[in-house]
Amino acid sequence: MIKNLLALSLAATLLGGCAGVATSPADGNSQSLPSVDLLGKTQLPPGTKVIYEQSLIMGSGDNWMGRVMLDVGKDAMAAYSFFIDQYPQQGWALLTAIRGKTSLLVFTKQDRSATVEMSEGSLLGSTLVTLTVTPKNAVVSAPKKP
């Protein structure tokens, strides 16, 4: 009973968040974040551009969740350093840090989790970052066999 209530609550939260889902700009290009504060106090490296057509942002402000694709420019080391230095200052605790051609950082903060995946050397030479923020204690149940 409690699992069903929690699952229903999570589903309602996710569906309610769809009202704030980011859509891509009409021209389909990457853009700097709009004046509407979709990501709340989430800080991004200077000059970062959101790739809207590859992002899914549910909700807005400090309660947003989803996946945001980012183009942080050509300096992968600066982007990695930004997340390592700035996120703990914002209250995020670093759980995992892996540095390589594809780097991975995992942070937690109260009831949320953030994963930062950086891929160096795209076709344009930019570093692409996937920032995924999810509830940390989401109730997930295994699918039932028919």
**How much is the pLDDT for 68?**
94
Stretch 82-90: mean pLDDT: 94
**How much is the pLDDT for 25?**
43
Q: How far is CA 134 from the centre of its chain?
A: 8
**How much is the pLDDT for 122?**
60
**Is the pLDDT confidence value at 69 over 50?**
yes
- Mean residue pLDDT of the chain comes to 76
Stretch 71-75: mean pLDDT: 87
The amino acid at residue 39 is L
pTM, two decimal places:
0.70
Integer angstrom CA distances of residue 76 from 48, 68, 80? 12, 17, 6
What tokens does 92 get?
A: 């995020």
**How much is the pLDDT for 140?**
64
For the CA atoms of 69, 93, 46, 64, the dihedral, rounded to the nearest 10 degrees, stands at 50
Asked if 101 contacts 113 with a C-beta cutoff of 8 angstroms, the reply is: no
Query: CB neighbours of 77 closer than 8 A, spacing ≥ 6?
Result: none
**Is the pLDDT confidence value at 117 over 50?**
yes
